[in-house]
Structure 1
């Protein structure tokens, strides 16, 4: 796909980087699924730190590739709003409510879609609720479910640590934190994955999640408990029904998908480097250092949706117009040669990565996610002696969507 220069045809939709999107690179489809890094680098060479792209449905957007430009967008909500109601292509009817982008980019009554005081009110409820839920035994929950997952394959001598471990463990912990039955976990994992993957089924799976969580909120009003759902219901910010369900959805999808993806990548790094593996087993290496490396090189969200230009402005040398959609290339920004000339050099000890976003919308649950990963890795290494990769590292593959790149499988062997 050959990118073209910006089109100044007065008949083109205002703010559309190229008339009708002709010639723009798509961040979805077969090429994006197999070689997202190649796309990022090609766009960087063609456009610099900000590039016009197409999202699913050929919806135009700006992809931020530069580290400093990502920081500028994330740290300046007055210029780059989270309120999708100012998104011009949606407001003017060029993006329909049935678009698979809506579950990821569209406006909802949650803190991610707000700025200023409304954001502070809602985020405060989420932060307080997460702290209360985590304080009631997050380590115990992770240890319990990690051992339960391992029990299913411990006597076999082999496993796929993606499908047998990383894919479901975070959701099992979240079901306990939310006050959901553990049996709901598998269905919610599938639906959360489909929302991020996009496609025709994204909206149906989003509705399934909302229905499950709405029923949960109704139960918890009648039968409160020591869980995140009850904490939101009882918070002094007095969230209404839609706000409660929207925040349950937000935390569930964001926490599960990012934590499961990050756990798989941490295990991949550990198992493809014997020195790291032996260092963790012997206690000479701290797992948090490995997590930090992964957050620089393969952050759990490759592209973060979305910001909307609050006025005409310039970003990375590109003329951004009011109402334009901007998506943040976290992976591309983390390997920006302007701040990281040699991407092979370890960034251990440097926490300035973009993996958790930054600014007022920085991830409020990052400590919980890191705790889940650190405990999950520790339990796994102590339960499975002689743990090793069952295939050459070069045979490990990933599949990407617009928003993330997920490890397909991680086959291992161990002593029984």
Structure 2
């Protein structure tokens, strides 16, 4: 039930206040206020672990129309710290709906607010940048100065290490046969869960790839134990500057010349492994309508994105990686909105990454070919190793 008569307030770090009514659980919550521009797929958004510790503003005005179900969640729970919508659906209407979004938020203890001007909030964040914020409803509402002080004393996203918080504790395997693949297993990969979405291993499995999903704390020995043909690092929340353990792991993997593919957080970790820096964007890229250009082909993809940090790498063609043992690297993809690095391609080792989400639940699917590109990279590396072994035998 939507708490239309329960007052709620959204307070931003700069003192800006928006008044509405409670949506989901009643109480208080803190996080970084960000906006997501998707017109659909709100269930996939709120269950994306990349949104941990963030208060998500939905720019689409009508939210909750299709309810929620047990099939579309991208992880084991809702990860958004708080939810901000304009017009919440009073009653869901969809043949797949099993319960209302409001009920799901309340059941999982997610504090939200509805009836606020999300367009004004979005414009404010675009002009001033993503910032700390808090939602307070019901008895949690105190005086504005008190609530503002609570917001300002909350943790910043910069310097936050969150991947270990959202990752699984135990490894698990996603088999191709469970996702419609009838042939033999083509490859086996080790995938580090830094906040992985369920659709990612599914997209691999649909193509005949067995996926061993490993915790964020996995070591090189853990990776080698599954005898992978390739190595993958997922999306995830937090500041990539804190991911020293994952950067060290990736460098060890790259030294082994094991093919690598990373998305989102995995792109930032590749950037750091190659010796580049990362930085926080003013308000990030979040939504399913982000235009990206492949610099090699000139093709433009409409992509799904969710990130607040980016890689600081040179745009002027191929160059030697600062970590020189990894050879040359180039920025392969770029954002057409703000020229942010959207992909890296290594030219002397089998590794590449993108800043966006090719699994893209609930769309678009322009970038799905990247899964096939990684399979081709593993095929090529396998052929090289086989030829090397045959040449050694011949000697």
> TM-score interval w.r.t. the shorter chain?
under 0.3
TM-score (norm 1): 0.26
TM-score (norm 2): 0.27
Whose strand proportion is higher, 1 or 2? 2
